Amino acid sequence: MFNKILTRARTMSPWVLHFDCGSCNGCDIEVLACLTPVYDVERFGMINVGNPMHADVFLVTGTVNHRNKKVLRNLYDQIPDPKVVVAIGACGLTGGIFREAYNVVGGVDKIIPVDVYVPGCPAKPEAIIDGVVLGLEKLKK
């Protein structure tokens, strides 16, 4: 019984932490656009907390490079369980158009385990909402 309530609460209240891991701002502002009136993800209880210790869903946009991979790892470790990682945009998935550049390590999944991949360049807000919803499936288990 309690578990059922807890699961429901978890899916109803995904607090997101957004980390721009070297994206071009495209996906970034689309993530922010999700919070604004036209998409308003607060309908689903999503709020941007900006503090890893409070977050449940980790939205990562952009390529990983040698400097920010440590930050990424660090942030990931600070998020308490249960957590969901959503990689956003072509850059977050594989490195996108930049994956052959010298300072690019590749997609987010090279550093931390990723649960949901949201393709697009930039990913549309609709796709980002879909992605978070898909990620919440993991919490139901």
Based on CB atoms, which residue is closest to other proteins, 98 or 111?
Answer: 98
Q: ∠ at Cα 33 (45, 9), nearest 5°? A: 10
Q: Is 73 in the site for other proteins (CB under 8 A)?
A: no
State the helix-helix crossing angle for 125-140 and 2-12, rounded to 10 degrees: 170
Instruction: Choose which of 81, 113, 140, 141 interacts with other proteins (CB under 8 A).
Output: 81
**Binding mask 25-54 vs other proteins (x if CB under 8 A, - otherwise)?**
xxxxxx-xx--xxxxx-xxxx-xxxxxxxx
**Binding mask 85-124 vs other proteins (x if CB under 8 A, - otherwise)?**
-x---x--xxxxxxxxxxxx--x-x-----xxxxxxxxxx
Instruction: Choose which of 1, 13, 73, 140 interacts with other proteins (CB under 8 A).
Output: 13
Rounded CA-CA distance 95/37 in Å is 30
Nearest distance, CB of residue 59 and other proteins, angstroms: 11
Q: How many CA atoms lie within 13 A of 50 on its CB side?
A: 2
Instruction: For residue 116, list its beta bridge partners.
Output: 86
Pairing state of beta strands 104-106 and 64-65? antiparallel
Size of the site for other proteins (CB under 8 A): 88
Instruction: Choose which of 23, 85, 111, 112 interacts with other proteins (CB under 8 A).
Output: 23
Rounded CA-CA distance 23/37 in Å is 24
